[in-house]
Amino acid sequence: MASDKSLVAVTCTAPINIAVIKYWGKRDEELILPINSSLSVTLHQDQLKTTTTAVISKDFTEDQIWLNGRKEDVGQPRIQACLREIRRLARKRRSADDKDPPPLSLSYKVHVASVNNFPTAAGLASSAAGYACLAYALAQVYGVEHDLSEVARRGSGSACRSLYGGFVEWQMGEQADGKDSIARQVASELHWPELRVLILVVSAEKKPTSSTVGMQTSVETSPLLRFRAEAVVPARMAEMIRYIKERDFQGFGQLTMKDSNQFHATCLDTFPPISYLNDVSRRIIHLVHRFNTHHGQTKVAYTFDAGPNAVIFTLDDTMAEFVAAVRHSFPPESNGDKFLKGLPVRPALLSDEVKAALDMAPTPGVIKYIIATQVGPGPQILDDPQAHLLGPDGLPKPAA
């Protein structure tokens, strides 16, 4: 893609991912190397995605970046780390490919615009989608054909998992330079077509303790975190991969919940303690367990990242009934028609037996909305020039 044309523009999209075996804690803050491996599910971009346009031009005098329409500081260390790494790979590739001097485009400055179609920094893995998309778009404009795990990881650790669709493992690696700390696909997005995902948005507010700060404090103060990383996660990774390959929802769902609970236990074991869950999150946990107990099997499973929003895994034949259970327990206040977004879910009536089993007084208005989605593919390039977020002058297009 990179050439000596005066302007090269690429727009791509990237997905968010939800970890079912959690990443929490770094062994190297600068290279963003984790203390344990992790495993995630990539969500479909029809519902949740970041869109990024990268443009390089000989006429640009400095790198610039806009996020969700606002100009941001391109000097942020993590953005700089991504830019440095992609340019290093581009130069390395050119010097290996031919004896000619590298094309001028490698010295061109870049303008980047990125938008999310979901709340940023609200515990919905926005940084993972954002940095995966940034790495992918930069690779296209600078002509880099290389595993981008390292580039994306330098922006946000979990971003390397958003470079692939389906079910993705981030191997912690052992080397000090992090060259073996990479993401790889465990199974494609087509592997488990019945799997469905519901995101219960409790709050779209920015979280009070950022993941970066939270992780650092946990590594420094939580003995439970060290035990988890060394004694628990390796076996859980192997177990989770087996459940995914066998499409075993009972095993997958139970281990997903256990690992979420242990992650949040390490947050409470941190000093001072960190609590990302709130009372509504805890009520959702009770709802899931009562629903499963009523059915005598694990039909739904929750996981929570560093925020109060619940991510629910279930199969397509259970989704309608569980959405009805959520509506019953957490009735929408005034946005009944906008309460459910994403994939269509057929209305279902909740039996009196299920209502009695849930045994929860309704709490109206505390779940803002539900996003229904499924497993999806990795980053995509948009070929339509109309999709570019930046105009020919390299500046954001005016809002339509």
Give the per-residue pLDDT at 6.
78
Give the per-residue pLDDT at 121.
47
For residue 243, the tally of other CB atoms under 10 A from its CB is 18
pTM: 0.94
User: What is the SS3 string spanning the chain?
Assistant: CCCCCCEEEEEEEEECEEEEECCCCEEECCCCEECCCEEEEEECCCCCEEEEEEEEECCCCCCEEEECCEEECCCCHHHHHHHHHHHHHHHHHHHHHCCCCCCHHHHCEEEEEEEECCCCCCCCCHHHHHHHHHHHHHHHHHCCCCCCHHHHHHHCHHHHHHHCCCEEEECCCCCCCCCCCCEEEEECCCCCCCEEEEEEECCCCCCCCCHHHHHHHHHHHCHHHHHHHHHHHHHHHHHHHHHHHCCCHHHHHHHHHHHHHHHHHHHHHCCCCCCCCCHHHHHHHHHHHHHHHHHCCCCEEEECCCCCCEEEEEEHHHHHHHHHHHHHHCCCCCCCCCCEEECCCCCCCCCHHHHHHHCCCCCCCCCCEEEEEEECCCCEEECCHHHCCECCCCCECCCC
Q: Which residues fall within 8 angstroms of residue 329, CB to CB, at 6 or more apart?
A: 283, 287, 358, 360, 362, 363
For residue 199, the tally of other CB atoms under 10 A from its CB is 24
Tens-binned pLDDT, residue by residue, of the chain (400 aa): 444 467 899 999 999 999 999 999 999 999 999 999 999 999 999 999 999 999 999 999 999 999 989 999 999 999 999 999 999 999 888 776 665 555 667 889 999 999 998 766 455 768 899 999 999 999 999 999 999 999 999 999 999 999 999 999 999 999 999 999 999 999 999 999 999 999 999 976 776 788 889 999 999 999 999 999 999 999 999 999 999 999 999 999 999 999 999 999 999 999 999 999 999 999 999 999 999 999 999 999 999 999 999 999 999 999 999 999 999 999 998 766 789 999 999 999 999 999 999 999 999 999 999 999 999 999 999 999 999 999 999 999 987 5
